[in-house]
C-alpha cells in the first residue's frame, strides 16, 4: 500500500513541476505515472553507479552535483517516455531542484519530526 501511495505522490509531484517549470511538459496524469515509475527505476539502478563514478566531484561540491545527476536522469527518462518532454538541461536541473523541494515538503507533512 505504501508503495502505491508513494508512486501516486511522485506522479502528482511531477505534474506540479510541469505546471511550475517552463520547458518541462507532461501530457497527462497517466504519463506522469509512467514517468514516476521509470524515474524510480532509474534512481534505483543507474543513480548509485553514477554517484560512485562522480564521487570526487560530489565531495568537492558538498553533494550539490547530485542535482546535476538527477537532471541527467530526468533528461534520459524524457527520451524514453512518450508524452514527457524536457526542453534542455536547465529545465531539467530546475525540475530536479523543484522535485526535491516538493518531496521534502511531502515527507515533512507525512512524517513530522517528533521530539
Beta-strand ranges (E) seen in the chain are 24-26, 84-86
Residue 3: the pLDDT is 87
> For residue 47, how many C-alpha atoms fall within 13 Å in the half-sphere facing its CB?
18
The arithmetic mean of pLDDT across residues 3-12, rounded, is 92
**Cβ partners under 8 Å of residue 80, min gap 6:** 38
CA 7 to chain centre: 12
The pLDDT confidence band at residue 87, using thresholds 50, 70 and 90, is very high
Cell of 21: 517549470
Residue 1's pLDDT band (cuts 50, 70, 90): low
Indicate the Cα dihedral angle 60, 52, 79, 27, nearest 10°.
-70
Give the global pTM: 0.91
Amino acid at each position: 500500500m505504501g508503495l502505491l501511495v508513494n508512486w501516486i505522490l511522485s506522479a502528482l509531484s511531477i505534474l506540479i513541476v510541469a505546471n511550475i517549470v517552463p520547458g518541462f511538459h507532461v501530457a497527462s496524469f497517466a504519463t506522469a505515472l509512467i514517468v514516476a515509475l521509470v524515474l524510480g527505476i532509474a534512481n534505483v539502478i543507474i543513480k548509485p553507479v553514477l554517484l560512485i563514478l562522480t564521487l570526487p566531484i560530489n565531495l568537492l561540491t558538498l553533494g550539490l552535483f547530485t542535482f546535476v545527476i538527477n537532471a541527467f536522469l530526468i533528461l534520459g527518462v524524457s527520451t524514453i517516455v512518450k508524452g514527457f518532454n524536457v526542453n534542455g538541461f536547465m529545465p531539467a536541473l530546475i525540475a530536479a531542484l523543484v522535485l526535491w523541494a516538493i518531496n521534502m515538503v511531502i515527507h515533512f507533512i507525512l512524517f513530522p519530526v517528533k521530539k
